[in-house]
Structures are given as structure tokens and as C-alpha cells.
């Protein structure tokens, strides 16, 4: 008979740590895929546990079917809901259920495997019969089996909102729209099979300040609901059934991280200034208006990127002009006199709207995204532009267009903005006539033609997440090629330098709001290349400030000069690391 230790085997997996912090908690599996399961051998001692899991899943399935039947009945009539009678018959079919239970002992496999074997046997038998009615029953059995599988492995994603216990969320993928609905008091951390540090889900984890690991390949089928796990979101380590030693050693890691964090918090009111007096505008990125509290607490001196698309995700209707204006006004007032850069809708890529038809594309990051979508949907775009204008005189708002690839797009967007201004003037609605308008430099063509774009805008902001993806042809959310995703590639450094230099020649400033700016290792390089603003997740503001305050501007300039002569991303990263190691060794220890 297997002993307890064998049943609760310790498993350690390493993925990509994208948001630091150590936590432990029970797994909550989030799955939308009922066809996927892992075949696992079990001992006789595990049979009762598998039977209990099966019974729980049957109860949940029955409850869901009754609920769906009720909803469908209400919506389109009781007669159309009768299909669910057939589904309920499958759940209550004792011969199928008993066969699964008996199969656990004879096959010595987990319940998912046995359920699959038994239900497929029924399906194949029904499909062989020359009777349409019975053939349809085969489809019912497959549907219900899928639903039971889903309940065995976890729950559908919509159940996120109903979490009652603190847990560690494990999922194949967690779309940004789902991540945005996470309740921090319930979700201690999350871990996903796919993803990379610059996926919007990872960015959201840092904004929420909860530990997270992505790129764990198959973790969602390796753990079961309720398994205890330990997550180190800095190192990217996930341990299922952690030992006492794990808890102790990772506890120490977390304690030193927290003590460093609180020493950094003391910098809150200090200026973001180098030792030789060079001031850097240190701002923060936000996804939701509620993030502003954290921004204020972090000591950031503005909002360098407000990703407004989150206002549009996970909802049934588009936000109206009034609703948007109220939200932008709230953020503007809260931050005034500090600036807030409102980025217009950046839908597409990995953020989709369920309401407006957004076709499924082969290459969504290179498809109908951001400004392309907005220019094709002028009503949606103009609603947002009017809302921003209406809030603009109530604080210090700036507007920014994402994903600009050519001057033509800037001119078209500005034309629509002018139309909105005319409409507001005609209605005597006040707005800031001088509101600055900038663009994101995140496509190589924009970085290379900065001299054509600069005369038409008030500022540039470097979107390094996309700039790296588009320059190096590396999908930013694909963990398989994450090793090729190199912000210090010589091509990236040159594009950044070109945009900044050209901006300065035309008298406009350049910020950096991609994740590269939030990596303390890269901060001296960006400063040396001449960025005027650094905008990062609120949780990273103190780390970045520490680096700035230990740095001399002359060292940063020297670093940039040295780096421009180097040949590989690796060499450049090492130079950046050497400098930060010298300035703040304790930070590097934390980042290692």
C-alpha cells in the first residue's frame, strides 16, 4: 500500500518568474478545456479519493445542467431546453457511473482516464447502431463527459468571480481580460502553462503586485485542485506538495525581499535624481483607475501610460462617452498637477473585445490592433477622444496613440481629434486646447522615421515590449522563443537611440513605458541613451528610484557609449549588470 509521502509527491517546476514574492496555498484550477487530461496510474489506496472526486464532479455537473436548463428555458422556451433532460439522464445513468467506479480498481488509473475509456465504449457502441435517435445519444454522452472532465480538473473561467477561499490560480492561459478581474484577497498568486514576461497577463500580475510564474508548459495538467503549492514568482519556481525545508528556505527568501522592499519604501518622497543632479521623470503605468492609489503610494510623479483598453474588456456594452469621461476625470483629478498619459484603445494582440466583432486572426499582434482598429471604427475611437478631451481641463492629461507605423496614421488620428474638438466647441463643452498629443514608438518603422513623425507630435513614448517583438520577430507571448526576446539586442539599442536623439533635435521629449524600463538592470542604459521619462508598474517604482539615486549621469552616458560598440545582447546585458552590481548589489541579489 502506498504511504502518504508517495501519494503527496513533491514536484518542482521552473518557469519564468514575472512578478516576485513567495506564497503557498491550495491550487484552484482554471480550465476551459474539458478534453484535455493526463493519464496517471494510481494505487489501490488512492481509489477512494478518486471516487470522491468523481462524485463531487457529478454533483457539480448535475447542478450546472439544471441551471443551464433553467436559463435556456427562460430565454427560448421550455421545449428547447429538453436537450438537457437527455444530458441529465447521462449523469444519472447508474450503469455508466458504476462502471467508472469499478474501473478505478481494475485499471488502476485516475478517474479522468477511466471516465474517458468507459464513456468512449458507450459512444462507440451507440454509433454502431443503425438508429438516428441512439446516435444522437452518443453526442450527449460526449458533451456530458466533457463537462464532468471540466469539473474534475477545475472550473470554467467565469467561476473566478466566485472564489471563496484564498488560493493559487493555475491555468493553461489566463487572458488579460480574466487577469483584470482577479480579486487580490482571494488569488494569492498565479501560474500558467504559456506566457512570457511581457505578455499583458504578466504585466497585470505586476500591477496587482501578486507573485506569478508563466511558461510552465504543462503545469495545468500536472496539478489537481486543492494540491498545496509554493510559488516563488521572482525565481519562477513552483513546488507542488512543498516540504518543511522548502517552506523554511523560501520563507527566508521572502523575508529578505520584504525587508529590502520596506527599506526602498523609505525613498518614496525622495527625488528620482542621480548623484550628480540629473533628474529623471519617474512615472507609473496603470491598467485600471483603481491602480491610482498604488501609484500615489509608490511615490511616482505621474502616469506615463494608462492602458485604457481594460475599461472595455469583460463587459457586455461599450463604455459610453459619459462613463469614460468620468473615469478619466477621476484619474486626472487624483494625479493633478502630475501628468496622466492616456493611451487610446490598444485592442487586438492579446486583448480582445467580445462585443464588437474582432475576427480571429492568424497573427493578431500584427493584425487589426490598436490604432488600426480605432481608425477603422471611428465612432468607437471618437467616443474615447471626446471623453478624454472633456476630462482634459480638469487635470494634466496627455493623449497617446499606440502602434503607430507611419505618419499617415498620426495625421488621420489627429484629424479625428480635430473633429472631436470642433464638436465640443460647437456644444460649448470646455477642454484643454493645448493638450499634448504623443505617439508610442513600438514599431521599427516608427523608430526609423522618427524625424518624419516628430514635427506632428508633442512627445514619444518607447513601447519596448512591442518594439522588441516587432524588431526581432519574436512573439512576445510565446514562451518557446522567450530566449530570443532580447531588449538589449544591438538593433533595439540603436532604434531607441535614434528615436530619442531625433526627438531631442525636434525639441520633444521621449519616455519609456515598456517593461524594459521597469527592469532595474536596464535603467542606467535608458538614462544614458537619453530618455526623459521612465514609466513602470507602481510596485517597481522604488527599485528603479534606488538605481537612479545611486547612479551618476556621467556613468550612464559612458555605459550607453560602451554598449553602442558591442555586438550582442549578452555582452550588453553583462555591461548593464556590472554597473548595477556595483551600484546596488543587494538589488541584484534579489533579482537573481
Q: Least separation, in Å, of the C-beta of 397 and ligand PEP? A: 18
Select the residue interacting with Mg ion from 140, 442, 475, 532 (CB under 5 A): 442
Closest distance of CB 541 from ligand PEP, Å: 16
Q: Smallest gap, in angstroms, from Cβ of residue 466 to ligand PEP?
A: 3
Give Cβ neighbours of residue 538 (< 8 Å, ≥ 6 apart): 207, 209, 284, 285, 286, 291, 294, 295, 297, 298, 300
Task: Please tell me whether residue 304 binds Mg ion under the rule CB under 5 A.
Answer: no
SS3 string, 186-221, reads: CEEEEEECCCCCCCHHHHHHHHHCCCEEECCCCHHH
58 binds, among ligand PEP, Mg ion, none (CB under 5 to 8 A by kind): none
Cβ-based nearer residue to ligand PEP, 61 or 285: 285
Q: How far apart are CA 176 and CA 198, in angstroms?
A: 12
Candidates 466, 479, 532, 533; binder of Mg ion (CB under 5 A) is: 466
Q: Which residues bind ligand PEP (CB under 6 A)?
A: 305, 307, 346, 442, 463-466, 513-514
Please tell me whether residue 515 binds Mg ion under the rule CB under 5 A: no
Q: How many residues does the chain have?
A: 592
The least distance separating Mg ion from the CB of residue 404, rounded to whole angstroms, comes to 11
Which range binds Mg ion by CB under 5 A, 229-237, 434-442, 471-479, 548-556? 434-442
Nearer to ligand PEP, 307 or 372 (CB): 307
Q: In sequence order, what are the beta bridge partners of 167? A: 187
Please, what is the minimum distance in Å from the beta carbon of residue 360 to ligand PEP?
Answer: 20
For ligand PEP, which is the closer residue by CB, 137 or 369?
A: 369
Any catalytic annotation for residue 200?
yes
Tell me the CA end-to-end span of the chain in Å, nearest whole number.
42
Cβ closer to ligand PEP: 115 or 400? 400
b/e per residue, 323-351, with b = 16+ CB within 10 A?
Answer: ebbebbbbbbebbeebbbbbbbbbbbbbb
Give the nearest distance from C-beta 421 to ligand PEP in angstroms: 26
Strands (E), 268-351: 281-286, 303-307, 339-343
Total chain residues near Mg ion (CB under 5 A):
3
Give the β-pairing of 339-343 and 303-307.
parallel
Binding site partner of 211, from ligand PEP, Mg ion, none, Cβ cut-off 5-8 A by kind: none
Q: Which is nearer to ligand PEP, 150 or 489 (CB)?
A: 489
Shortest spacing between CB 564 and ligand PEP, in angstroms: 22
Which of the residues 200, 281, 339, 489 is marked catalytic?
Answer: 200
- Strand-pairing partners, residue 190, are 169, 212
**Nearest-angstrom CA–CA distance, 129 and 249:** 61
Establish if 463 lies at the interface with Mg ion (CB under 5 A).
yes
Contact status, residue 198 vs residue 515, Cβ threshold 8 Å: yes
Question: Hey, which residues does 22 pair with through a beta bridge?
Answer: 232
Which residue is catalytic, options 167, 420, 513, 576?
Answer: 513
* Beta bridge mates, 509: 459
Q: Which of 207, 208, 204, 212 is nearest to 185 (CA)?
A: 208
Q: How far apart are alpha carbons 418 and 399 in whole angstroms?
A: 13
Q: How far is the CB of 307 from Mg ion (least distance, A)?
A: 9
Between 170 and 472, CB nearer to Mg ion: 472
In 10 A of CB 431, how many CB atoms?
19
Contacts of 350 (CB under 8 A, 6+ apart): 175, 176, 199, 200, 201, 364, 365, 477
Query: DSSP character for 351?
Result: B
Q: How far is the CB of 333 from ligand PEP (least distance, A)?
A: 24
Task: Answer whether 335's CB lies under 8 Å from 356's CB.
Answer: no
Are the beta carbons of 69 and 84 closer than 8 angstroms?
yes
Quickly list DSSP for 88-118: HHHHT-HHHHHHHHHHHHHH-B-HHHHHHHH
Stretch that binds Mg ion, among 234-242, 379-387, 456-464, 578-586 (CB under 5 A): 456-464
Closer residue to ligand PEP, CB minimum distance, 327 or 462: 462
Nearer to ligand PEP, 267 or 477 (CB): 477
Between 27 and 341, whose beta carbon lies closer to ligand PEP?
341
All cell numbers assigned to 554: 556621467
Residues annotated as catalytic are 200, 513
- Contacting residues toward Mg ion, per CB under 5 A: 442, 463, 466
Amino acid at each position: 500500500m502506498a504511504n502518504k509521502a508517495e501519494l503527496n509527491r513533491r514536484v518542482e517546476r521552473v518557469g519564468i518568474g514575472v512578478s516576485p514574492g513567495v506564497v503557498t496555498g491550495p491550487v484552484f484550477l482554471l480550465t476551459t478545456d474539458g478534453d484535455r487530461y493526463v493519464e496517471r496510474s494510481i494505487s489501490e489506496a488512492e481509489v477512494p479519493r478518486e471516487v470522491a472526486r468523481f462524485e463531487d464532479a457529478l454533483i457539480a455537473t448535475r447542478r450546472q445542467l439544471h441551471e443551464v436548463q433553467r436559463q435556456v428555458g427562460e430565454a427560448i422556451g421550455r421545449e428547447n431546453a429538453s436537450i438537457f433532460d437527455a444530458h441529465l439522464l447521462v449523469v444519472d445513468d447508474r450503469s455508466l457511473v458504476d462502471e467508472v467506479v469499478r474501473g478505478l480498481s481494475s485499471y488502476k488509473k485516475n478517474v479522468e482516464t477511466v471516465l474517458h475509456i468507459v464513456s468512449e465504449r458507450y459512444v462507440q457502441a451507440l454509433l454502431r447502431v443503425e438508429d438516428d435517435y441512439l446516435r444522437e445519444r452518443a453526442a450527449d454522452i460526449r458533451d456530458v463527459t466533457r463537462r464532468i472532465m471540466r469539473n474534475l480538473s477545475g472550473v470554467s473561467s467565469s467561476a473566478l468571480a466566485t472564489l471563496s477561499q484564498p488560493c493559487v490560480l493555475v491555468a493553461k492561459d489566463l487572458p488579460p481580460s480574466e487577469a483584470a478581474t482577479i480579486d487580490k484577497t482571494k488569488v494569492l498568486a498565479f501560474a500558467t502553462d504559456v506566457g512570457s514576461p511581457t505578455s499583458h497577463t504578466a504585466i497585470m500580475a505586476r500591477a496587482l503586485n501578486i507573485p506569478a510564474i508563466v511558461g510552465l508548459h504543462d503545469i495545468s495538467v500536472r496539478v489537481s485542485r486543492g494540491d498545496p503549492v509554493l510559488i516563488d514568482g521572482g525565481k519562477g519556481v513552483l513546488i507542488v506538495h512543498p516540504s518543511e525545508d522548502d517552506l523554511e528556505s523560501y520563507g527566508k527568501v521572502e523575508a529578505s525581499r520584504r525587508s529590502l522592499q520596506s527599506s526602498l519604501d523609505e525613498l518614496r518622497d525622495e527625488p528620482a535624481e542621480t548623484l550628480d543632479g540629473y533628474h529623471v521623470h519617474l512615472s507609473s503605468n496603470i491598467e485600471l483607475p483603481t491602480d491610482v492609489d498604488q501609484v500615489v503610494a509608490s511615490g511616482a510623479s505621474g502616469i506615463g501610460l494608462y492602458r485604457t483598453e481594460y475599461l472595455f474588456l469583460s463587459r457586455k456594452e461599450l463604455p459610453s462617452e459619459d462613463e469614460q469621461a468620468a473615469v478619466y476625470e477621476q484619474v486626472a483629478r487624483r494625479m493633478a498637477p502630475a501628468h496622466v498619459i492616456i493611451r487610446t484603445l490598444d485592442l487586438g494582440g492579446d486583448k480582445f473585445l467580445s462585443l464588437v466583432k474582432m475576427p480571429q486572426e492568424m497573427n493578431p499582434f500584427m493584425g487589426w490592433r490598436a490604432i488600426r482598429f480605432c481608425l477603422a471604427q471611428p465612432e468607437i475611437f471618437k467616443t474615447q477622444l471626446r471623453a478624454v478631451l472633456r476630462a482634459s481641463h480638469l487635470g494634466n492629461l496627455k493623449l497617446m496613440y499606440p502602434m503607430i507605423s507611419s505618419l499617415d496614421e498620426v495625421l488621420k488620428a489627429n484629424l479625428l481629434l480635430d473633429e472631436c474638438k470642433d464638436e465640443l466647441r460647437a456644444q460649448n463643452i470646455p477642454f484643454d486646447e493645448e493638450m499634448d498629443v504623443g505617439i508610442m514608438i513600438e514599431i521599427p518603422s516608427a523608430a526609423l522615421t522618427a524625424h518624419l513623425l516628430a514635427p506632428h507630435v508633442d512627445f514619444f513614448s518607447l513601447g519596448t515590449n512591442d518594439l522588441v517583438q516587432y524588431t526581432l520577430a519574436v512573439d512576445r507571448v510565446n514562451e518557446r522563443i522567450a530566449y530570443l526576446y532580447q531588449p538589449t539586442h544591438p538593433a533595439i539599442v540603436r532604434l531607441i537611440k535614434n528615436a530619442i536623439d531625433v526627438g531631442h533635435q525636434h525639441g520633444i521629449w521621449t519616455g519609456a513605458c515598456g517593461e524594459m524600463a521597469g527592469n532595474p538592470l536596464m535603467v542606467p542604459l535608458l538614462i544614458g541613451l537619453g530618455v526623459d521619462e521612465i514609466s513602470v508598474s507602481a510596485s517597481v517604482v522604488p527599485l528603479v528610484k534606488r538605481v537612479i539615486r545611486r547612479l551618476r549621469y556621467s556613468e550612464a552616458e559612458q555605459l550607453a557609449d560602451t554598449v553602442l560598440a558591442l555586438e550582442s545582447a549578452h555582452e550588453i546585458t553583462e555591461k548593464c549588470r556590472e554597473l548595477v552590481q556595483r551600484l546596488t548589489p543587494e538589488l541584484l541579489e534579489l533579482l537573481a
